[in-house]
Structures are given as C-alpha cells and as structure tokens.
Amino acid sequence: MMTTPELVPVLTKEEIQQKIIVLAGMISRDYAGKELLLIGILKGSFIFLSDLVRHLSIPAQIDFIRASSYADTMSSSGTITLTQPVQIDVKNKHLLLVEDIVDTGLTLSCIKDYFRLQGAASIKICAFIDKYERREANIPVDYTCHTTHEGFLVGYGLDYAENYRCLPGIYHLKM
C-alpha cells in the first residue's frame, strides 16, 4: 500500500540564512589572503553554495563537479562515479568542497583523494548538514550549518528521488 510521506520541519529558511551568515564569516576569516576555490558537488549543493558565496567577504573562485553514488534509494552504494570534472586548475589552490549533506562520507572521501592527487594546496569540507550516524569514512567535516545523527532530510537542494529540492526549508522525510 502507498502512503503519503510526511514532511517534518527541521530548519526554516530564516534559520538557514542566519546559520549561513555565521558560516560565511568563519570561512572568510580562515581563508583571508589565500587563493580559495569553492567546488560545489552537484546537484544537491547548488542552493547552499549560491547562498554561501554571497555572504563571503573575500574573493573566491567557483567550480562544480558531479558525482553520483545512489540513484533513487536512501543509502550510499559506496561506488562513486565522477560524471563531470572541474574546469579550473586546482594546483596550489585552497579547495573547499561544498556538499549538501555528508552521510557515510564515502562520496567526499573519494573526491578528496581525487583532488589530493591533483596537487591542491589544501582541501577542506563544507557540508550544509553533517549526518554522522552512518559515517564509514574517516573524514572531518570542517564547516557545517547543522548536525544530526540520523534521518532522511530533504529541501534546500536535498532530494529524495529528485523531488523536494525546491523547498526553502529543511524537512525530515518520514515514509
């Protein structure tokens, strides 16, 4: 039997904006005087990245990569395919990988290894949400707006089977 999923509010759009202002302030301080390249991981990070960069007070370059680990399911397959690489040369740049959510960490761990081999000066992770219950890879989430231990979240760029990305707030999807 099909039931309608329930959307339980987690963060309002106002709360999100306040958290992003604080985060952008930290990033601006930490990267002052450095050549910063923000790399958004598509598609989930597109809204977060666009809000974040408008609150930075330092210059930064922006590029995107596309990685896919799971199709329409709720758990990571552990096999990550890079379907669109960066166009800007990352050598000697300070990279900030921008993700919507870190779950097992397998996606970002693969992506971090990939950029390390390309000679980046430093690589840090900025994830809108840090969901740590199922973490498998030992990777630090250097910057985050919200920490949660479990649950499937949607909205503000995060999807379930390509739905819910356009919601302005974050919701817990209960099936």
Least distance in angstroms from the C-beta of 39 to ligand IMP: 13
Least Å distance between CB 48 and ligand IMP?
A: 11
142 is catalytic: no
Q: Which of 11, 23, 65, 104 binds ligand IMP (CB under 6 A)?
A: 104
Give the Å distances, CA to CA, from 109 to 5, 17, 79, 87, 153.
Answer: 31, 28, 11, 20, 21
Cα separation, 15 vs 21, in Å, equals 10
Nearer of residues 51 and 100 to ligand IMP, judged by Cβ: 100
Helix (H, G, I), strand (E, B) or coil at 25: helix
Which residues of this protein are in contact with Mg ion, per CB under 5 A?
A: 44
Residue closer to ligand IMP by CB (options 10, 36) is: 10
DSSP label at 130?
E
User: Which one of 30, 89, 100, 103 is the catalytic residue?
Assistant: 103
Four-residue CA torsion sign, 53, 130, 31, 138 = negative
Q: Looking at beta carbons only, is 120 or 153 nearer to ligand IMP?
A: 153
Q: What is the DSSP letter of 124?
A: E
Alpha-helix runs per DSSP H in the chain: 13-30, 46-53, 106-117
Stretch of 50-58, 84-92, 118-126, 153-161 contacting ligand IMP, by CB under 6 A: 153-161
User: Whats the size of the chain, residue-wise?
Assistant: 175
Of 120 and 158, nearer to ligand IMP (C-beta) is 158
In whole angstroms, what is the distance from residue 58 CA to residue 48 CA?
17
Residue of 158, 167, 170, 171 interacting with ligand IMP (CB under 6 A): 158
Note the residues at the interface with ligand IMP (CB under 6 A).
Answer: 44, 69, 76, 99-107, 131, 152-154, 158
Q: Indicate which residues carry an active-site annotation.
A: 103
